[in-house]
Amino acid sequence: METNNQLQEMLGRVRAEIAKVIIGQADVVDRALICIFTGQHALVEGVPGVAKTLLVRTLAHVLGCEFSRIQFTPDLMPADITGTNVFNLQKNEFNLIKGPVFTSFLLADEINRAPAKTQSALLQAMQEHAVSIDRETHILPDNFTVFATQNPIEYEGTYPLPEAQKDRFMLKINIGCPDRADELTLAQRSLGIRSPERILNSGEVQQVISAKELTALRAELDAITLREELVAYGVDLVRATRAHESILVGAGPRATQALLLASRAFAAIAGRDFVTPDDLKDMAVPVLEHRIILRPEFEIEGLTVGEVIAKILQDVPVPR
Ligand SMILES: Nc1ncnc2c1ncn2[C@@H]1O[C@H](COP(=O)(O)OP(=O)(O)OP(=O)(O)O)[C@@H](O)[C@H]1O
Ligand SMILES: [Mg+2]
């Protein structure tokens, strides 16, 4: 059976508009949409120039959402993210100057370049969907979704996110380099007047829905069936990470929630109104990868977290 036609029709148009700008990277686009539809956040990893910024800008345009970007630096202060109350002499009162966190899609670039206190300001906003400034709480927009990038190459002078903080991101999205055919298309377009940036700025990419409609559509995910046995399967998969011989620190209970929510959104994107075991399998790596620490002796041997998760997927019995 098909999910709600409106959702499917909308998704088709969203994909088509995004594809006018972003060449290839279908899995990456789907995973970004999963985060947006579930109101969760993504940790984005990829070398410079794989269109991380362009992707989030394009998503914001197509989904009618506000976009802002924060470049994290060692001197960035928490108030640079959240905002400050400034005294207005004429009116004799404090006025809130909202920081860049007051947006829908927030690109937090190189989050590991700022010290812990500044990272926490963002992570708290993600967790609570609100920020407190001078003891007053301000609610963030409904579709608030953070895409945080980490610089994977230069670790010097950086403050890698602690494990407890990484756990707050629903998915890790790895953006690899394009394959040869896609890179060729990109190279050809970049030479002419059809560069991806120009296409996005030219007005030929349509806004498919408004921010309000997006919020309403998100609620439709609740109608997707997730059988009891699959909920248990999700719990078993996450629990297996805590008992595996090559894992030092396994995934916590937030991972279980993330796995189930992501699988439901993944099913919707695939055009189904029910979740299958394969949906959970497909979501296992992006949900679990950043939450697992291998034992050093296994890491030295060259074992990767992805391989361990693949092993767990083989071992944990799949419900019929
Ligand atoms: N798959 C792709 N589709 C369309 N354009 C792409 C793709 N991959 C790379 N590009 C091009 O690469 C360039 C860099 O894009 P962008 O600035 O978004 O990268 P980035 O990943 O944010 O880089 P950085 O890590 O340096 O911030 C852009 O000119 C964009 O046109
Ligand atoms: Mg960028």
Q: Which domains can be identified in the chain, with CATH numbers?
A: 5-218 (3.40.50.300), 224-315 (1.10.8.80)
How does the average pLDDT of the chain come out, rounded? 92
Please indicate whether residue 29, judged by its CB atom, sits closer than 6 Å to ligand 1: no
Would you say 143 and 65 are in contact if contact means Cβ atoms under 8 Å apart? yes
- Residues with Cβ within 8 Å of 311's Cβ and at least 6 positions away in sequence, in order, are 244
Ligand 1 atom 15, closest CA:
51
Please indicate whether residue 44, judged by its CB atom, sits closer than 6 Å to ligand 1: no
Ligand 1 atom nearest 190 alpha carbon: 31
Strands (E), the chain: 42-45, 67-71, 83-88, 93-98, 105-109, 130-133, 136-139, 145-149, 171-174, 247-249, 293-294
CA–centroid distance, 47 to ligand 2, in Å, is 10
Which one of the ligands is nearest to 190 CA? Answer: 1
CA–centroid distance, 50 to ligand 1, in Å, is 4
Q: What is the pLDDT of residue 160?
A: 80
pLDDT over 90 at 134, yes or no: no
Name the more confident of 192 and 71.
Answer: 71
Most informative mutation of 17, 28, 54, 200 for ligand 1 (most atoms within 8 A of CB): 54
Percent of the chain surpassing pLDDT 90: 75
Q: What is the pLDDT of residue 131?
A: 94
Most informative mutation of 28, 50, 193 for ligand 1 (most atoms within 8 A of CB): 50
Q: What is the pLDDT of residue 157?
A: 66
Confidence of residue 150 (pLDDT cuts 50, 70, 90): confident
Which one of the ligands is nearest to 51 CA? Answer: 1
Reported as a single tens digit per residue, the pLDDT across 205-237 is 999 999 999 998 888 888 899 999 999 999 999
Q: What is the pLDDT of residue 194?
A: 82
pLDDT over 50 at 2, yes or no: no
Please indicate whether residue 19, judged by its CB atom, sits closer than 6 Å to ligand 1: no
Confidence of residue 9 (pLDDT cuts 50, 70, 90): confident
Instruction: Over range 248-255, report the average pLDDT.
Output: 94
Q: Are strands 247-249 and 67-71 parallel, antiparallel or unpaired?
A: unpaired
Q: Which amino acid is present at 101?
A: V
Please indicate whether residue 319, judged by its CB atom, sits closer than 6 Å to ligand 1: no
CA–centroid distance, 52 to ligand 2, in Å, is 5
CA distance 50 to 187: 13
| Tokens standing for residue 79 | 């108030």
Ligand 1 atom nearest 175 alpha carbon: 21
Question: For residue 222, what is the DSSP state?
Answer: G
Rounded to two decimals, the pTM is 0.93
pLDDT over 90 at 192, yes or no: no
Q: What is the pLDDT of residue 295?
A: 93
Confidence of residue 156 (pLDDT cuts 50, 70, 90): low
Please indicate whether residue 48, judged by its CB atom, sits closer than 6 Å to ligand 1: yes
Q: What is the pLDDT of residue 1?
A: 43
pLDDT over 70 at 5, yes or no: yes
- Helix crossing, 52-62 with 26-38: angle to 10°? 50
Instruction: Over range 93-108, report the average pLDDT.
Output: 94
Q: What is the pLDDT of residue 158?
A: 74
Q: What is the pLDDT of residue 232?
A: 97
Confidence of residue 304 (pLDDT cuts 50, 70, 90): very high
Q: What is the pLDDT of residue 69?
A: 96
